[in-house]
Amino acid sequence: MSFLNMLTDVCDIYHLKAEDSSTKPTFGVSVENMQQQYDYPDEPDLSKVPAYFVEKSQSIAQGEPQRQLIQTYKVFFLPDTDVRTNDRVIFEEDAFRLQKPRRIRNHHIEVAAVREEEAL
């Protein structure tokens, strides 16, 4: 059985990109002194990427004004997949933020994915 057959899930990956601040008004402040802004694009950089999601933990933390649900998943990708730290992954209508990817013996990539949302 190949590793590709074990990747039963499909997700979309969005890379974090720097916004072009040259078109925004700077109010007399030079562009070199402004802090760089980052955002995710509207269209996915990689779509229908084969992956395998395994839930590791789930916790609820008291936040303001409500509690926060924090879920952690371990995600497996093929070794040639372009995944980076702080990428956004959309899997089954849920958005996850990827941690630092680890290449395991040049066989696959393993990444921790975190999902945070307000719990009722």
Domain that holds residue 114: 3-19+33-119
Looking at the structure of the chain, the number of domains it has is: 1
**Is residue 95 a part of any domain in this protein?**
yes
SS3 category, 74? strand
SS3 category, 6? helix
**Is residue 24 a part of any domain in this protein?**
no
**Is residue 26 a part of any domain in this protein?**
no
**Is residue 96 a part of any domain in this protein?**
yes
pTM of the model: 0.81
**Is residue 27 a part of any domain in this protein?**
no
**Is residue 47 a part of any domain in this protein?**
yes
- Please name every residue paired with 119 in a beta bridge, in sequence order, or none if there are none: 67
CA distance 88 to 114: 10
In three state form, how does the secondary structure of 42-65 look?
CCCCEEEEEEEEEEEEEEEEECCC
| Each residue's pLDDT tens digit, 22-64 | 666 666 666 666 677 788 888 999 999 999 999 999 999 887 8
Half-sphere exposure (Cβ direction) of 82: Cα atoms closer than 13 Å: 8
Mean pLDDT of the chain: 87
CATH code assigned at 11: 2.40.10.370
**Is residue 43 a part of any domain in this protein?**
yes
| Each residue's pLDDT tens digit, 75-117 | 999 999 999 999 999 999 999 999 999 999 989 999 999 998 8
